[in-house]
Amino acid sequence: MGKVKVEPQQSKNTINHFSHPHPLELITNQKFVSSSSQLCSGCKIQATGSIYTCRSCNFFLHTECSQMPQQITHPFDKEHHFILLQKPIYPEGNFNCDACGEIGDGFSYHCKTCGTELHILCAIFPLCITHWSHHHQLDLKFSPPYPDKSSCSDICKNVGTNHWLYRCQTCGFDAHLNCTKLQATPHQTNIHYNPTTSRFAP
């Protein structure tokens, strides 16, 4: 467990991935130009750069998303394992990410014990960053430090409830995860995946 299930390759640039029944061909950004309607099936972001694709099915997968481990542990919940799901298990066909609060319909990390759902990109947010909006380091907090568990981002000025945020403990500066996605610089204390232990850790 903890490794992407990749079957023996048909060629140097072809893999089999658990998320799709057909072989996936590696296409580099020199050979492939994505339209706005062509999304990565893992993260649901536009399929650009180096991707794996099934041309007959119009299926796309970023190379990074293809390498996400199938089982992880995370500092958010160190007692349980999170399983990588190809698609949501709910009848509605989507899930609510417990990290950012946004709806998702791509890959997710799911805790069977707690029912926690995480976007795959939220699961790899750095534990601390520097950001143009603030002069101090911002640390990842898994819960707002306020009695009502709500937080107002000092970037967008909108209120969020009981979701992860980046915070400067010195100044009380708060930022929602989505507010920090652009122009954020991870520190050396990023969360890294250790393939020998199936863990994300500082």
The tens-digit pLDDT sequence of the chain (202 residues) is 344 444 444 557 999 999 999 999 999 864 555 555 789 999 999 888 889 999 899 999 999 999 999 999 999 998 999 999 999 999 889 999 999 999 999 999 999 999 999 999 999 998 988 888 888 899 999 988 887 777 777 788 888 778 899 999 899 888 888 888 754 444 433 344 443 333 444 3
* Residues 155 and 135 grouped into a single domain: yes
Question: CA angle, corner 123, sides to 120 and 128, nearest 5?
Answer: 140
Whole-number Å distance between alpha carbons of 101 and 96: 6
Give the list of residues 6+ apart from residue 26 with CB closer than 8 angstroms, or none. Answer: 13, 14, 15, 50, 51, 52, 63
* Residues 140 and 112 grouped into a single domain: no
* Residues 57 and 110 grouped into a single domain: no
Helix, strand, or coil here: 122?
A: helix
Number of domains making up the chain:
3
* Residues 88 and 34 grouped into a single domain: no
Whole-number Å distance between alpha carbons of 169 and 40: 36
H or E element at residue 95:
strand 95-96
Whole-number Å distance between alpha carbons of 17 and 60: 11
